[in-house]
Structure 1
Amino acid sequence: MSLHWYTARRVAWAGVVAFVILTVTFVLLEYAPDPQLARIQFRAAASGGSAEAAAEAYVRRRGLQGPLWARYLDYLANLATGDWGWSDTRSQPVVTAILTALPYSLMYTVPAVLLSTFFGIAIGLYSAFNQYTKADYAATFVAFFGISIPNFWFGIVLILVFAVHLGWVPVLFDAQLARTRPFSLANARQLALPVFVLGTGAIASTMRYARAEALEYVRAAFVKTARAKGASEWRILTRHVLRPTLVPLSTILVGDLLGVILSASYLVEVVFGIPGIGRLSLEAIRRQDTALVLGTTLVPVFVAVIGNLLQDLAYAALDPRIDYGDR
């Protein structure tokens, strides 16, 4: 099977996954209670008006009339043409709302992913080469600490220590500063804590996997043979340990990082007041803004689909024994 057919098949499967996620989200939002509708009915009844008429006007204004399947098909048709809908709570197109919030999320997620990948693999390999030493025990402690500690609690503690008491970083996130001077030192200061909080859990997870995989090769016979032939430790690390370690590591690295980053972004943005995708999605869910919820759901789905596709392609490229047939 050719690479092109393999890629097309994976993209098609990714489309099926995205369709299922959107369908489930749409149905759940349909049957979830709408607090805004309840408030409108209460206000109408309190002012002497008709609660039913107010509810009908609300449904008509939000475009919620008609059967569920018909509204869902209309949404999919609009989605195919690039129209992601209109956000009633923000009075702007969903695409505009997402594009406004996306840069704020990228400012801290991209550095967190890059740093966690580099330092996680590096610490994991160092720990595997120095098994049962103080450095290994320290790295293991850091891994368990990073995985176990709640991000929202850790973020609040860091704000109290470094922002309130020491004054090294600002307490509140300045969105205007991030928008006008994204590469300034002042913006880097206010992004330091979100990157550190998000990267702590990701580094710990990556380090744990890298150490476990590298341990299988550190004491392998071919590594002992290379060392007996006079190969340097750097060559042994990069050629004989790192390369085979990346093959199984690539199958779990993307998914695990996405899980840590995407799930933690909601809490991180709420704690630090960052107006990113996570906070936008949370507010949309709270206000029952269906179009905006579906739009913010599409973003992590798209990232996960592309990430898993690249993961599959990298897995086949790193190990020549793997073909593009059914696995």
Structure 2
Amino acid sequence: MLQYILKRLLLMLPTLFGVLLVSFIVIQFVPGGPVEQMVYQLKGRGAAESAGNTSAGTSGGAYQAARGLSEEQLSQIKTQYGFDKPAPERFWLMLKSYASFDLGESWFRHASVTQLIREKLPVSMSLGISSLLLTYLIAVPLGVAKAVRQGSRFDAATTLLLMIGYAIPSFVLGVVLLVLFGGGSFWQVFPLRGLMSDDWEMLSILGKAMDLLWHLALPVTAMVAGGFASLTMLTKNSFLEEIHKQYVTTARAKGASEKRIFWRHILRNAALPLVVGLPEAIIAAFFTGSLLIETLFSLDGLGLLAYESVIRRDYPVVLGTLYFFTLLGLIGKLLSDLGYVLLDPRVQFGAVGEKS
């Protein structure tokens, strides 16, 4: 087991290196980088000043600034953003800082990438954890009920509803919910934006919890509606597979009750795929943000941060968050694989490695 963990940890290094290398190379060819943006801003400022001076009957330096920047100014801008060094050297410096978990400083927000993640994280955590809990609380019991009532009208009707929910994009459902319940054209039941009311600081602990749930109702519903369809069908198929196995038939032949068979035998084996994927799902719920949902409901989370960083070409934020989330994803995958060993004694990674 220890040998397998060490191998997986070592395999994370080339994976992280490959992700960062490909992303860094792509960034080099994307037009409109920070240097270009600063040049355009200075040219526009010079053009505006030139127009003002011309209308006042003067001309000179401002008009010259509108034509372009000097080599010295351009060199200063490149030095400011670190583009005075060749690309391989910049990539090497980035890897060295990432090795010590120094994700760098944002070029436009005047804050470290770590600080930005820490500031935006509570919003994405609120959405992610609420969505995860609601998804499991609905999908797992529904999947079990569908497996027990396989082929019934209940099974057919719920499958139809699941497919409809799965087919509707979350942002479309979010717009519908806002129109219906956000005071768009019908009822003003839930707030339109944000996660806290104006009087948040004055509320009690229970009041703050209720206020947070009130603000989360619409965005979480929009995120969950299509998300639990796959988990429900996974639960159903997993239980159906176990129900028809030989050990269930043997237990029934020995006179065991259906309740005992379900709780002592079927549940433990059928829940294995659901429990194993839980660590990865928890990490994803903590650290991923939904761009469309956060934009639609005016929630300043990680999804919106990533989108704005890409648009503004804030490369330290883009690469820093990519590195952080990729590392967490690899750790979550490792925990999921280790969960197989802990929950199913038949799985032995060490034995498999020795045979191979």
Normalised by the length of structure 1, the TM-score is: 0.88
Query: Does structure 1 residue 315 correspond to structure 2 residue 334?
Result: no
* Larger radius of gyration between Structure 1 and Structure 2: 2
Report the counterpart of residue 57 of structure 2 in structure 1: none
Report the counterpart of residue 289 of structure 1 in structure 2: 314
Report the counterpart of residue 32 of structure 1 in structure 2: 30
Report the counterpart of residue 270 of structure 1 in structure 2: 295
Distance 1:144 1:185 in 2: 31
Report the counterpart of residue 205 of structure 1 in structure 2: 230
2:304 pairs with 257, 279, 289, which one?
A: 279
What is the root-mean-square deviation of aligned Cα atoms in Å? 2.8
State the aligned residue count: 325
Report the counterpart of residue 98 of structure 2 in structure 1: 79
Helix, strand or coil at the partner of 1:92? coil
Distance 1:122 1:154 in 2: 24
- More moved, 300-309 vs 88-97: 300-309
Matches within 5 A, 1:107-256: 107-164=126-183, 165-174=186-195, 183-249=208-274
- More moved, 152-161 vs 192-201: 192-201
Helix, strand or coil at the partner of 2:157? helix
Residues 128 and 285, structure 2, Cα contact 8 Å, conserved in 1: no
- More moved, 162-171 vs 4-13: 4-13
Residues 151 and 197, structure 1, Cα contact 8 Å, conserved in 2: yes
The change in CA–CA distance for 1:248 and 1:185 in structure 2 (over 3 A counts) is: closer
The change in CA–CA distance for 1:217 and 1:273 in structure 2 (over 3 A counts) is: same
1:300 pairs with 325, 333, 343, which one?
A: 325
Amino acid at match of 2:224: G
* CA displacement, residues 154-191 of structure 1 (integer Å, 9 cap, x when unaligned): 11111111112322210011467698679421111111
Report the counterpart of residue 12 of structure 2 in structure 1: 14
Helix, strand or coil at the partner of 2:250? helix
Shift of 1:251: 6.1
Gaps of 5+ in 2: 47-63
Shift of 1:27: 2.0
What's the % identity of the aligned pairs? Answer: 29
Distance 1:271 1:227 in 2: 53
* CA displacement, residues 7-64 of structure 1 (integer Å, 9 cap, x when unaligned): 2222222333223222222222222112654443334445232246454433221112
Shift of 1:231: 3.2
Amino acid at match of 1:194: P
The change in CA–CA distance for 1:66 and 1:72 in structure 2 (over 3 A counts) is: same
Helix, strand or coil at the partner of 2:290? helix
Helix, strand or coil at the partner of 2:109? coil
- More moved, 208-217 vs 221-230: 221-230
Distance 2:282 2:149 in 1: 25
Residues 169 and 226, structure 2, Cα contact 8 Å, conserved in 1: no
- More moved, 125-134 vs 30-39: 30-39
* CA displacement, residues 280-323 of structure 1 (integer Å, 9 cap, x when unaligned): 11110110001111122234323322221111011122221111
Residues 251 and 312, structure 1, Cα contact 8 Å, conserved in 2: yes
Amino acid at match of 1:126: A
* CA displacement, residues 239-269 of structure 1 (integer Å, 9 cap, x when unaligned): 3222222334556666688889987712221
Amino acid at match of 2:40: F
1:4 pairs with 2, 5, 11, which one?
A: 2
The change in CA–CA distance for 1:85 and 1:111 in structure 2 (over 3 A counts) is: same
Shift of 1:145: 2.5
